Amino acid sequence: MILAPAAAGPLPALAQADGALGRLLLELGGAIFVLALLARLAHRAGFSPIPLYLLGGLAFGEGGLLPLAVGEQIIEVGAEIGVALLLLLLGLEYTGRELGEGLRTGWPAGLVDLALNFTPGLLIGLALGWDPVAAVLLGGVTYNTSSGIMARMLAEFGRLGNRETPSVLMISVLEDLTNTVYLPLVGILLLGVGWATGLLSMAVALVTVVLVLLAAIRYGPQLSRLIESRSDEVVLLTTFGLLLVLAGVAEQLQISAAIAAFLLGIALSEPVADRARRILGPLRDLFAAMFFLFFGLQTDPTQIPPVLGLAVGLVVLTTLTKLATGWYAAGRYGVSTRGRVRAGAALTPRGEFSIVIAGLGAAAGVEPLLGPLSAAYVLLLAVLAPVLMRSANAIGNLIEGWRERRARVA
Amino acid sequence: MREIEETPLPGVGVRHDYTVSDGTRVGVITHRTGRKELLIYDRRDPDTCAQSLRLDEDDEHTLAGMLGAETVSTRLATLAQEVEGLAIDWVRVPPGSPYEGATLRHLAVEPYHSAMVVAVQRDERMHPAPGADFALRADDVAVLVGTLAGIEQLASTLRGDA
C-alpha cells in the first residue's frame, strides 16, 4: 500500500526508473548510518539508544533542524515491521511460567502499579478535553515502564543482584500481562465504534484474548514444536513469516499488527521462545530503530514546545507515582528504605511501549498532541531516570535521616 | 554445603546466593544467555551489591579452577583438543550392564590398552583418577580417554552392547 504509485505495474517500478533504486539504497543506507552513529553515542554514554533515535527523527524530519528528503516510504515499511518485531520480543521476554508466577505472587503490586500510573495519564487526557480514546492511550503511555531501558540501567548500575530487583522485574512482568488485555482493548476503541457496540466488541476482544492465552498455554508447546528446527535459519524464517502473516491478517481486520505480534510472542513457549529471542534480536534492533526514527520523523518538532510544560508536569507526577509503586513493591519483599527508593527509580523510564501506544494513536489520528507529548515525555524521562538511579541511595539516606529525627522528637 | 538461596529474576535469569562464613553474602546470577555474574554484597547493607563482576566463559573456568571445583571433565575436554590423537568421551553405565558392580581392575584385564577410565561421575560428584578397586554402579558416568577406536570399543563394552 505504501508503494502505491509503483504498485500499478506487475513489478514495483522502482528498479526501472532511472537511478531510483540507487537513490533508494543510498537514502536507506544513510538513515541506517545515522542510526548507527546514534547507537554508538548512546552505547558510549551507557544509556538506551531509544531516546537518541527519537531525537534523530525529530531533527531530520519535517520542521526539524536538517530536514532530509529521506526515503520515508521505505522507512515506514521498516517501521511497521519494527513495531511487530518489538512487540513480538516484548511478548517473548517472559516465559509462561514467569507470567503465571508473577500473577500469583505479585498481583497486589501489579494493581498498585496500574492504579497509580495509568490513572494520571487517563485523567490528564480527559482534563485536556481529549477524546476518551486518546485519554486511554495517554494512560497507557504513562503506565508502561520501559523494560528495555530498566534492564539496561540495572545492569549499568550493577544492581541486578540487589534485593529490590526481583520486585522491580515482577512489576515489568505484570505490565506485560496487563498489556495482553490493554492492547486489544485499545485496538477495539480505535476502531471508533459507538459506546454500546464498543462495549460489545470489547467483550468479544476480551474473550478472544482469554481464548488466545488459554490456547497458548494448552497448545503453545505444539505451536513451538511446529516452529522448532535444528537450523537457526528455519526458525528465523518460520517465526518471521508467521509474524508478518499474523500482522497482515490483523491489519486487514483493522486491528493493529502490534497486538497480533504481542500475542504471538506470549503464545510461543520454550525452547523456541529462547531461540527466537536470540535469533530475532538483531533483526528487532534494526527494524525497531527504524520505527523510533520514523516516529520522530512523523512528529513535528515545532509541536513540542507548546506541550513541553504539560510534558514536564506529567513527568513530575508520574515519576512520583512510579517511585511510590517501587516503594510499595520492594517493601513487600522486606527491602529497606534505600532499596525501596532504588526500586522506584528503576521503574521511572518509559520507552518502547509508550511510543508504540502513541504511534497507534497517531496512525489512527485520534489526537494530534498525543505524538509530540509522548515524544517529549519519553525524552525527558530518559534524561531524568539515570539521574534518579544515581541519586536513589542519597534520597534513601535523606528519608532515613528524616525518619530518625522524627522518631527522636516523638 | 551451605544453604543456597535461589531467586528467579524474570526476563534475566536466576540468582543463587549464600552467606560466606565471615558474614558476607556472595551470589551468582546466571543470565538466560548462560553468561554469569558474580555478586558480592555489601556487609552493612545486605540489600545492595558492593561489587558485581561480569564473567565470560573463560573467567568462569579460571575462577572455578582456582577454587578447585570439579572441573576435571572440562579440563580434560580442553586437553583432548590440545593433544592430537587423544579423544575423550562420556559413557553412562546402564542398569544391567555386564560391568555394573565390577571394579575397574576387572575392566583393565580386558584387552583395551588404547583407552581407560580416568574419572567417574556419580550423583553429581566427580571422582577423578579412580583406583583399580573402584566399583562401577549403574548410572555412573565414566569419563574415557584414549584413541577414538579404543574409546568406542570400551564404551560399547561398558554399555553391554558389544
Query: Cβ B47–A336 below 8 Å, yes or no?
Result: yes
Q: Which CATH number fits domain A28-39+48-409: 1.20.1530.20, 1.10.10.10, 1.10.8.640, 3.40.50.300?
A: 1.20.1530.20
For residue A216, CA distances in Å to A92, A329, A402 come to 12, 29, 50
- What does the block give as the cell for A309? 510544560
Contact A216, A266 (CB under 8 A): yes
Q: What chain A residue is nearest to B47 in terms of C-alpha separation? A: A163
Q: Which helix (H) or strand (E) holds A311?
A: helix A304-331
Please answer yes or no on whether B52 and A160 come within 8 Å at the CB atom: yes
Query: What domain range includes position B121?
Result: 72-159
Co-location of B46 and B91 in the same domain: no
B interface mutation test: which of A97, A153, A157, A165 has the most B CBs within 10 A? A165
Contact A94 B33 (CB under 8 A): no
Are residues B47 and A335, on separate chains, in Cβ contact within 8 Å?
A: yes
Of A184, A203, A314, nearest to A259 by C-alpha is A184
Considering only CA atoms, which of A104, A120, A138 is closest in space to residue A366?
A: A138
Domain borders along chain A are 28-39+48-409
CATH number at residue B146: 3.30.70.1450
Per residue of chain A (410 residues), what is the pLDDT tens digit? 343 444 444 444 444 556 778 877 887 888 888 899 999 998 888 778 888 998 888 887 766 666 665 566 777 888 889 989 999 998 888 877 788 788 888 899 999 999 999 999 999 999 999 998 999 999 999 999 998 899 889 988 889 999 999 999 999 999 988 888 888 788 878 876 666 776 776 677 677 777 777 777 677 777 777 887 778 888 899 999 999 998 888 888 777 788 888 888 888 877 788 888 889 999 999 999 989 988 888 888 888 899 999 999 999 999 999 999 999 999 998 898 999 999 999 999 999 899 999 988 888 888 889 999 999 999 999 989 999 999 999 999 999 899 889 888 87
Say which of A102, A161, A338 has its CB closest to residue B52. Answer: A161
Instruction: Read off the pTM.
Output: 0.75
- Domain ends where: B66, B83, B106? B66
Do B82 and B137 share a domain, yes or no? yes
End-to-end CA distance of chain B: 41
What region does B97 belong to: left with phi over 0, alpha with psi -120 to 50, or beta? Answer: beta
All residues of chain A having their beta carbon less than 8 Å from the beta carbon of residue B33 are: 278
The grid cell for A401 is 535521616
* Chain segment B106-122, per-residue pLDDT in tens: 776 565 567 888 888 88
- Specify the number of domains making up chain B: 2
Q: Where is the domain boundary, B14, B47, B66?
A: B66
Q: Are residues B81 and B152 in the same domain?
A: yes
- Identify the domain boundary among B66, B94, B116: B66
| Residue A32, φ and ψ in degrees, nearest 5 | -70, -35
Residues B59 and B126 in one domain: no
Same domain, B33 and B91: no
- Cα separation of the two ends of chain A: 71
Q: How far is A157 from chain B (nearest CA, A)?
A: 9
> Which residue of chain A has the CA closest to B50?
A158
Same domain, B89 and B57: no
Kindly state whether residues B53 and B89 are assigned to the same domain: no
Chain B residues inside the 8 Å CB shell of A165 = 9
SS3 state at A376: helix
B40-91 pLDDT, tens per residue? 999 888 888 988 898 988 888 888 888 875 545 555 555 555 566 777 888 8
Size (chain B), residues: 162
B90 and B34 together in one domain: no
Residue whose C-alpha cell reads 530475532 in the numeric block = A280
